[in-house]
Amino acid sequence: MLDSTDLSAPAAAGSIPDRILTIFEVVALTSLSRASIYRGMAEGWFPQQTRLSPGRVGWPASTIARWLRERAGTSTRPARPPSRRRRR
């Protein structure tokens, strides 16, 4: 499984500068479902994928890391009101 610390590690000289993440890795890092990721791309609040070949897409690790940093400490949902149900 991919560790989020892998995203912030600098690339070594002469290596590929940015790793491409699969949908499965993006799901694991963001805790979003595949449907939420694709809906987020359509609505503009999640980064767009990069087409690698006719049947392959991915997200640059730096793009997902930046998105996670920007989202840290923010919430898109309003605070939930207290439940009116009685506890038994």
Q: Is 61 helix (H, G, I), strand (E, B) or coil?
A: helix
Residue 10 domain-assigned (yes or no): no
Residue 45 domain-assigned (yes or no): yes
50: containing domain = 21-71
Residue 42 domain-assigned (yes or no): yes
For residue 16 the two structure tokens come to 């590929």
Residue 14 domain-assigned (yes or no): no
Residue 44 domain-assigned (yes or no): yes
Number of domains in the chain: 1
Residue 8 domain-assigned (yes or no): no
How far apart (Å, rounded) are the C-alpha atoms in residues 77 and 9?
A: 31
Residue 60 domain-assigned (yes or no): yes
Residue 63 domain-assigned (yes or no): yes
pTM of the model: 0.66
- Chain segment 14-41, per-residue pLDDT in tens: 555 689 999 999 999 999 999 999 999 9
Reported in sequence order, the residue ranges of the chain that DSSP labels E, i.e. its strands, are: 20-21, 50-53, 56-60
DSSP state letter for 50: E
Q: Write down the pLDDT at residue 5.
A: 47
